[in-house]
Amino acid sequence: MTAADITAGKEAEDRIAVASNWKLVWWRFRRHHLAMASAVLLIFMYTIVLVPNFFSTQDPERTDARQAFIPVQTVHLFDDGSFSPWVPAIAGKRNPTTLRMEWTTDSNKKVPVTFFGTGYKWKVFGLFETTRHLIVPVDPNQRIFLLGSDRLGRDQWSRIMHGTQTSMTVGLVAVALSVILGVVLGGISGYVGGKTDSVIQRLIELLQSVPTIPIWLALSAALPRDWTPTQIFFAITVILSLVGWTTLGREVRGRFLALREEDFVLAARLAGCSRMRIILRHMVPTFLSHIIATSSLAIPVMIINETSLSFLGLGIRPPAISWGVLLQEAQNIQTLALAPWLLIPGLVVIVAVLAFNLVGDGLRDAADPYSH
């Protein structure tokens, strides 16, 4: 070992010595490459959630029966060696026997597209108007279908962007509600104990023993038909979290029970700390990272639940757009044979769920940096 090595080692040691819990968690999380990549992907997806219109090429509701089932148009960045993005043009011909439109892409005819160009009008966070989009055709009268179109001629790419907003938000909000319910009820259960604990635990057991799908079906069927999509959206979120908090509630209770016996909690009591201070300063920070990890594992479950409900036509209903609503389009075999790209929303669901699970696993492993 050289002197330089020893100094370097000493500095690293000093850095670790003053590192807070969150820093240690971050250092450990960073070493999970898959989880890191997934986290980047999720950050990107939540950017879409914030401004789906910016990523859309056209209004997701714009229909045109003459442009139904247009296949995927791939973006090409270079034309003749110079940067000039384009998509191949689409030519349609009606099949004389089936009377269906049959589309062919023609790579020789190029539709020029531009990044950060102008397209339809939208409002950033509903505040100020803009026409900027990530990618639009140079000619505003042209339509491009990056992921094809559905049976009504709506652009699937733009619809997926908007579906992402709904589905990812449902997941997040439902888990946030579950966390609030779980932490409050689980915390009371664990800290107060006794009769209260018994009542809450029996309630959790009851909720967990009820078959979820029929309950959801019943609850969503009970939603008034005349509710707006936003109202339905919130109702669905609440329904999901009402059933979803139980697991978290148990986890929080378990942590509270274990922590009550920790020496450093006893030390705080003997030092004369108040109950509130013990809970807020000693107990909550200790299990916060675990709660975050558990929640990030709960989000994909919520997303799947929402998607399944909407797929069955019982969750979010058109005209609102969610991944489940989009997958409804892919419900019959005929459509699938004709337009397999309508399955792409399913792929998006898989990617999102996988990413959440990987991040959650990474967080769970990193959550307790003192475990070894």
269 to 192, 254, 266, 284, 363: CA distances (angstroms): 16, 20, 5, 15, 30
- In whole angstroms, give the CA distance from residue 184 to residue 178: 10
Task: Please list every residue from 285 through 314 that binds another protein, using CB under 8 A.
Answer: 285-286
CB atoms within 10 A of CB 65: 9
Nearer to another protein, 20 or 98 (CB): 20
233 to 40, 315, 317: CA distances (angstroms): 27, 8, 9
159 to 56, 108, 148, 225, 320: CA distances (angstroms): 8, 28, 11, 23, 10
The DSSP result for 133-161, as a single string, is: -SEEESSTT----TT-B-TT--BHHHHHH
Out of 81, 126, 211, 272, name the contact with another protein by CB under 8 A: 272
Out of 34, 50, 238, 266, name the contact with another protein by CB under 8 A: 266
One-letter amino acid of 144 = I
**Shortest distance in whole angstroms from residue 370 CB to another protein:** 5
- In whole angstroms, give the CA distance from residue 26 to residue 365: 11
Nearer to another protein, 221 or 271 (CB): 271
- Residue 17 in the binding site for another protein (CB under 8 A): yes
**DSSP strand pairing (76-79 vs 82-94):** antiparallel
Pick the piece of the chain touching another protein (CB under 8 A) from 75-83, 128-136, 271-279, 294-302. Answer: 271-279
Out of 20, 98, 228, 230, name the contact with another protein by CB under 8 A: 20
- Residue 19 in the binding site for another protein (CB under 8 A): yes
| H or E stretch at 87 | strand 82-94
- Residue 370 in the binding site for another protein (CB under 8 A): yes
- Residue 18 in the binding site for another protein (CB under 8 A): yes
Interaction mask 212-251, another protein, x per CB under 8 A: ----------------------------------------
What contacts 114, CB < 8 A, 6 or more positions away? 85, 135, 136, 137, 138
Pick the piece of the chain touching another protein (CB under 8 A) from 114-122, 223-231, 277-285, 300-308. Answer: 277-285
| Total of residues contacting another protein (CB under 8 A) | 29
67 to 143, 144, 151: CA distances (angstroms): 10, 11, 8
Nearer to another protein, 245 or 287 (CB): 287
**Shortest distance in whole angstroms from residue 27 CB to another protein:** 9
**Shortest distance in whole angstroms from residue 314 CB to another protein:** 38
- Residue 263 in the binding site for another protein (CB under 8 A): yes
- Residue 30 in the binding site for another protein (CB under 8 A): no
**Shortest distance in whole angstroms from residue 10 CB to another protein:** 9
3-state secondary structure of 80: coil
- Residue 335 in the binding site for another protein (CB under 8 A): no
CB-based contacts of 96-101 (< 8 A; 24+ apart in sequence): 100/338, 101/66, 101/68, 101/69
One-letter amino acid of 320 = A
- Residue 258 in the binding site for another protein (CB under 8 A): no
- Find the farthest-apart pair of alpha carbons in the chain and give their distance in angstroms, rounded: 88
Name the nearest CA neighbour of 163 among 294, 314, 329: 329
Out of 65, 210, 271, 333, name the contact with another protein by CB under 8 A: 271
Out of 115, 274, 340, 347, name the contact with another protein by CB under 8 A: 274
The count of residues in the chain is 372
**Shortest distance in whole angstroms from residue 242 CB to another protein:** 27
Out of 26, 44, 115, 264, name the contact with another protein by CB under 8 A: 264
- Residue 262 in the binding site for another protein (CB under 8 A): yes
Pick the piece of the chain touching another protein (CB under 8 A) from 15-23, 80-88, 203-211, 234-242. Answer: 15-23
**Shortest distance in whole angstroms from residue 292 CB to another protein:** 14
- In whole angstroms, give the CA distance from residue 208 to residue 76: 51
Q: Enumerate binding residues for another protein (CB under 8 A).
A: 1, 9, 13, 16-21, 24, 31, 262-264, 266-274, 277, 282, 285-286, 369-370
